Structure 1
Amino acid sequence: MKTDPTRYLARLRVTPGYEKAVPAPPSVGVLIVGYRACFAAAPAAGTPIASFEATTPVQIDAGAATAMALISVERATQRLRIRTEGGTEISWEENYFSAFGDSGTQWHLLPVDPSSHGGFVIARGAWAAGGYQAVLTRSTLIQAPFAPAVVSVHNVDPHTGERRW
Structure 2
Amino acid sequence: VENCAEVKAIPGENDLTNNRACARQRIRHSDSGKPAMRLTKLCSGALAGATAVTCRITVISTGTSAPTGPVWVNDAATLVAGGAPVQIQTVTPDGAEWTCGPVPANALSCQIPGAVMTPGTSRHFDVALAANGVFENCARGSYGPAPGDDIVHPIGRACAKGGGASSIRVEKTGDAECRIGQPCS
TM-score, scaled to structure 2: 0.27
Larger % of helix: which? 1
Larger Rg: 2
TM-score, scaled to structure 1: 0.29
